[in-house]
Amino acid sequence: MPSLTLKPTHKAVTAYYDSLAQFAKLGVKHETAVRSAFQELLEHCARQFDWKLVPEYRIRRKGQADASADGALLDNYGLNHGLWEAKDSADDLAKEIKHKFSIGYPRQNILFWQPDRAVLYQNGELHFEADLGVADNLVKVLTLFLEFAPPAIAEWEKAVEEFKDKVPQIGASLKTLIEKERQTSKKFIAAFEDFCSLCRGSLNPNISIEAVEEMIIQHILTERIFRKIFDVADFMQRNVIALEIEKVIGALNSRSFSRDDFSKSLEHFYGAIENAAATITDFHEKQNFLNTVYERFFQGFCVKVADTHGIVYTPQPLVNFMVASVEKILTAEFGKTLADKDVHILDPFTGTGNFIVNLMRHIPKSALPHKYAHELHCNEIMLLPYYVASMNIEHAYYEATGKYESFEGICLVDTFQTAESDQNEFGFFNEKNSERVSRQKKAPIRVVIANPPYNAGQADENDNNKNRKYPALDRRVSVTYGEASKATLLRKLSDPYVKAIRHASDRIGESGIVCFVNNNSFVTEKTFDGMRKELGKDFDLIYVLDLGGNVRKNPKLSGTTHNVFGIQVGVSINLFVRKPKAKQ
């Protein structure tokens, strides 16, 4: 556990007192102003731990509206290390503390602050209080506050250190076991081949054996996490894709692999994950925690897969803005709302389902059951995000309606492949998933909203990681964007995000909206002159919100601080609107 380096003479401390003195000189006493001085100091201290101070942190309260603390210290997994609540000097701090606890504020590690006093509660009890007119007291209370480790989080941090090397080793041992069984067990060979055929049919006809093995390993490693953390014991039994993988694992389990024995070997690690997740009360924050655990521990088996698909999860503020923008344009240009019948919506690259969940929040409860059952559609090609998206969407529906209903609108499928004419001979994974894909293909999609993949290719042509070809879709790009271009180098037109815009433009038919956040290179680069020309023909209104952030073109920028995704290429939010012919 790191320790806080802070002394009364440090610049951050003297700046804090100077700021309070300036407020006092100006006669400014209200909380919103004076708390900014302490917030800056707390942010300075949090950076030493690689934590983020999140202002206006939501506190979930069972059966009541959410409360809001002035700040929370979150680590990179999204785990909460402490809450901060500010008051001004006119408040009766003891009375305010009593009130906050009476309405459900947690007492594990919470610091109450006002300019001249601080009170720290830890493990449910008053731990320290101090006169902040003395700088030594300020340093002491901050040290106690930041160095406190809630037991579950301390256990998790210890487990992270112990298992960061062990988990890849365990994954490698599972891979060795699978490869052995593929040589010696007729039952497993048959089950594995059946599963490979399904993957080739619906995900990628060129998918490698290694990629299929990775899917099985990921499922084995994460099944318990889904079951325990999200309290969905039957998820793997009712999810149409998980059922197929369970058949393979059943064949593995029957001969030389015991899932129970395997789970015992990782008991401490899984227990630490579960206990840490139990400190989180919000379902979606639990999912953020799981996403980070997945990226840091389990994605090691599919880094190349993640690379070819250009996975970058969309920050929530962008999702909020995009959904609100679509709703605004639907009303202004079409006289419709997201809730109206026959407004079918598709997220073709759903990731963990954030767009669909956000859309559901914009739909009145009275209209949601029909929309959920018939008019919300999404696709995901990677297994773990598909699982998370399924649970995310289903839980959001449960929260809104009080009823649990399986989400039939999600498909494990390559969206681009659905546009290829030869797909029917393969099917889409299994009968149930195929039915969903077929239903989606027949749906009159009016809104396409997503964060499409951005990766243009790979560095090594010899690996098993090549971006696949889509003859029909590639031809559409070529005969439209390519033929309209005066540029000689058109390689960038093969970028997946360009394919995504072409596919969505065709998918909405005679009228509709495409809303994407993607690489902004198409806005100004010469290669895309034909694309710009065709988009001008294809749509009646185009809105481009250029967010900049092209680190490659401007070395002075930093992907971490100047790019909304923390990546190297620039980004824009784009809305393409096609009106019915009568209203053009």
Give DSSP secondary structure letters for 121-161.
EETTEEEEEEETTSHHHHHHHHHHHHH---HHHHHHHHHHH
Nearest to 140 by CA among 115, 111, 114: 111
pLDDT in tens, 157-213: 888 887 777 777 888 888 888 998 899 888 889 989 988 888 887 677 778 888 888
% of the chain with per-residue pLDDT over 90: 46
- Of residues 428 and 501, the one with the higher pLDDT is 501
What is the predicted pLDDT for the residue at 219? 83
Pair 120, 111: CB distance under 8 Å: yes
Pair 360, 483: CB distance under 8 Å: no
Q: What are phi and psi of 543, to 5 degrees?
A: -115, 130
What is the predicted pLDDT for the residue at 455? 55
What is the predicted pLDDT for the residue at 267? 84
Greatest Cα pair distance in the chain: 83
pLDDT at 37 over 80: yes
Q: What are phi and psi of 41, to 5 degrees?
A: -65, -45
The rounded distance, in Å, linking the Cα atoms of 478 and 464 is 26
| In the chain, domain spans | 11-149, 159-301, 316-583
DSSP run (H or E) holding 535: helix 529-538
Query: Could you give the C-alpha distances from 235 to 299, 387, 388, 390, 401, in angstroms and in order?
Result: 21, 9, 11, 9, 19
The mean pLDDT of 570-580, rounded to a whole number, is 94
pLDDT at 278 over 60: yes
pLDDT in tens, 365-415: 999 999 999 999 999 988 778 888 888 898 889 888 988 888 999 998 889
DSSP run (H or E) holding 73: strand 67-74
The mean pLDDT of 150-163, rounded to a whole number, is 85
What is the predicted pLDDT for the residue at 156? 87
pLDDT band at 502 (very low <50, low <70, confident <90, very high): very high
The rounded distance, in Å, linking the Cα atoms of 274 and 482 is 52
pTM of the model: 0.75
pLDDT at 480 over 80: yes
pLDDT in tens, 535-564: 999 999 999 999 987 777 777 776 566 777
pLDDT at 96 over 90: yes
- Of residues 181 and 304, the one with the higher pLDDT is 181
Query: Could you give the C-alpha distances from 227 to 17, 33, 222, 254, 309, in angstroms and in order?
Result: 50, 45, 9, 22, 27
What is the predicted pLDDT for the residue at 172? 84
The mean pLDDT of 424-439, rounded to a whole number, is 74
The rounded distance, in Å, linking the Cα atoms of 533 and 484 is 7
pLDDT at 443 over 50: yes
Nearest to 566 by CA among 298, 311, 288, 381: 311
Give the list of residues 6+ apart from residue 377 with CB closer than 8 angstroms, or none.
Answer: 344, 345, 346, 347, 409, 410, 411, 440, 443, 445
DSSP structural state of residue 66:
P
CATH of 11-149, one of 3.40.50, 2.60.120, 3.40.390, 3.90.1570: 3.90.1570
Torsion of CA 413, 418, 423, 429, to 10 degrees: 20
For the ranges 2-16, 242-256, 452-466, 499-513, which has the lowest average pLDDT?
A: 452-466
- How long is the chain? 584
Q: Find which of 171-175, 281-285, 446-450 is predicted with most confidence, using mean pLDDT.
A: 446-450
Q: What are phi and psi of 270, to 5 degrees?
A: -65, -40
Domain 316-583 - what CATH class? Answer: alpha beta
The mean pLDDT of 202-230, rounded to a whole number, is 80
Pair 13, 7: CB distance under 8 Å: yes
Query: Within 10 Å of residue 76's Cβ, how many Cβ atoms?
Result: 10
pLDDT in tens, 100-140: 999 989 999 999 999 999 999 999 999 999 999 999 999 99
For the ranges 6-10, 190-194, 460-464, 538-542, which has the lowest average pLDDT?
A: 460-464
The sign of the CA dihedral 546, 552, 558, 561 is positive
pLDDT band at 299 (very low <50, low <70, confident <90, very high): low
Q: In 3-state terms, the chain is what percent helix, strand and coil (to 5)?
A: 55, 15, 30
Nearest to 188 by CA among 177, 204, 202: 177
For the ranges 228-232, 301-305, 453-457, 525-529, which has the lowest average pLDDT?
A: 301-305
- Of residues 298 and 542, the one with the higher pLDDT is 542
For the ranges 143-147, 195-199, 296-300, 490-494, which has the lowest average pLDDT?
A: 296-300
pLDDT at 58 over 90: no
Pair 304, 463: CB distance under 8 Å: yes
The sign of the CA dihedral 555, 559, 563, 565 is positive
What is the predicted pLDDT for the residue at 214? 83
Give the list of residues 6+ apart from residue 241 with CB closer than 8 angstroms, or none.
Answer: 383, 386, 387, 412, 429, 430, 433
pLDDT band at 462 (very low <50, low <70, confident <90, very high): very low
What is the predicted pLDDT for the residue at 306? 42
Pair 379, 350: CB distance under 8 Å: yes
pLDDT at 458 over 60: no
Give the list of residues 6+ apart from residue 368 with CB closer than 8 angstroms, or none.
Answer: 339, 360, 397, 400, 401
pLDDT at 85 over 80: yes
pLDDT in tens, 40-53: 999 999 999 999 99
Question: What average pLDDT does the chain have?
Answer: 85
Pair 66, 58: CB distance under 8 Å: yes
Pair 148, 137: CB distance under 8 Å: no
Residue 209 CB-half CA count within 13 A: 8
What is the predicted pLDDT for the residue at 310? 42
Rg (CA), the chain: 26
Query: Could you give the C-alpha distances from 544 to 53, 279, 338, 517, 570, in angstroms and in order?
Result: 32, 41, 21, 10, 13
- Helices 354-361 and 383-401: crossing angle, nearest 10°? 10
pLDDT band at 460 (very low <50, low <70, confident <90, very high): very low
**Tokens at 81, concatenated:** 């290390």
pLDDT band at 87 (very low <50, low <70, confident <90, very high): very high
pLDDT band at 335 (very low <50, low <70, confident <90, very high): very high
